[in-house]
Amino acid sequence: MKRLSLKKGFLILLLILGFSAKSQYAWWVEIHNWDWVSHWSDYMSFQPGTMGPNALPVPDLQNGRMDTNLTLLVTPEVHLAKNDFTFDIFTRVNIPIKNAVALQIWWVPFEYYKTDTVVRDFRAARTREAEGTATGDVYLGMLIPLVTDKEKWPDLMLSINLKTASGSKLKDARFTDAPGYWFDLSGGKDLPWKNHEGWFFRPFGSAGFYVYQTNSTIHFQNDALMLGAGLDLKNEKWRFSLQYAQYSGYWREYDLPKVLRLETEYTHKNLTYHLRLQQGNESYNFTSIRAGVRYNFSPLLNR
């Protein structure tokens, strides 16, 4: 009898926990007409226009030239959309290896987000308050210069990049909890600004291919063509940059993100102050502001 009572108590506890879990998400079940069979993530759509701004962003544009310094960029970011607010910390380290290639690692270690219930339900998010914190995916990149400082040729560089499945808060559509990768070929060349000693224009462009895993049983991955172009105006201390970048998936819904970027950098000794404004389109409906610093460790290492 004692053993039977323990079994009954265990079953009652399971029923209570199950009922509690169902009650917690009763609002979500009602809104999305859950069939009580499918996993809740099946009601989401892994596209840049149906998730948070750091889930599937348009990658940073390469300009054909590798940074040969060991640097660390740390910058707060704000992403604004209608009834949608995100604040995060973006970090990226650039590690040159014998000036032949460079390894890059970037990550959003902290993200705070808050939306209204309309955005929450559009994304099929499961936190009723539509507010919380998350950590992002770790990205790994390899930069491989192909042509550098040739008089009659532009600089050319190949980049190979991996998106890991390390981000949190899939339940709130913040990160996909799925891998991806992309590669691109970029080219650019410094052109002297006539009658302005020390100033250069650098036109550049990039083309590549971006693949990321989805949660669709019909299309297990989305394959996207990447394109971008930009123009830098720079001297020893200043850099001003206008850039356009995009990738185009084959769902043709919310997987066509396009962004316009304005960047300014000022370098003083080992510190570079960085400011970026970015505007997206319907598939990436965010106005983003990034302001931070990049520290160059190479002068310290070369003493």
Do the Cβ atoms of 171 and 24 come closer than 8 Å? Answer: no
Same domain, 108 and 31: no
What pLDDT was estimated at residue 1? 43
What pLDDT was estimated at residue 113? 98
Same domain, 262 and 131: yes
Same domain, 261 and 153: yes
Same domain, 78 and 196: yes
Same domain, 220 and 183: yes
Q: For the segment 210-222, what is each residue's pLDDT rounded down to a tens digit?
A: 999 999 888 889 9
Q: For the segment 245-282, what is each residue's pLDDT rounded down to a tens digit?
A: 999 999 888 999 999 999 999 999 999 999 999 999 99
CATH number at residue 87: 2.40.160.40
Beta strands 180-188; 138-147: pairing state: unpaired
Same domain, 88 and 20: no
Same domain, 33 and 47: no
Prediction pTM value: 0.90
> What is the pLDDT of the chain when averaged over all its residues?
92
CA 154 – CA 255 distance, rounded (Å): 31
Res 21 pLDDT > 60: no
Same domain, 135 and 240: yes
Same domain, 10 and 74: no
Same domain, 89 and 3: no
Same domain, 18 and 84: no
Res 19 pLDDT > 60: no
- Could you tell me which of 185, 125, 193, 197 has the C-alpha nearest to residue 161? 185
List the domain range (segments joined by +) for residue 255: 43-301
Find the length of the chain.
Answer: 303
Do the Cβ atoms of 193 and 153 come closer than 8 Å? Answer: no
Share of the chain above pLDDT 90, in %: 84
With cut-offs at 50, 70 and 90, classify the pLDDT of residue 302.
confident
118: helix, strand or coil: helix
Do the Cβ atoms of 254 and 47 come closer than 8 Å? Answer: yes
- Residue/partner pairs of 274-280 with CB below 8 Å, 24 or more apart: 274/73, 274/75, 280/58
Same domain, 133 and 244: yes
Q: What is the 3-state secondary structure (H, E, C) of 68-112?
A: CCCEEEEEEEEEEECCEEEEEEEEEEEEEECCCEEEEEEEEEEEE
> Number of structural domains, the chain?
2
Q: For the segment 139-192, what is each residue's pLDDT rounded down to a tens digit?
A: 999 999 999 999 889 999 999 999 999 999 999 999 999 999 999 999 999 999
DSSP 162: E
- Could you tell me which of 214, 171, 176 has the C-alpha nearest to residue 32? 171
What pLDDT was estimated at residue 17? 44
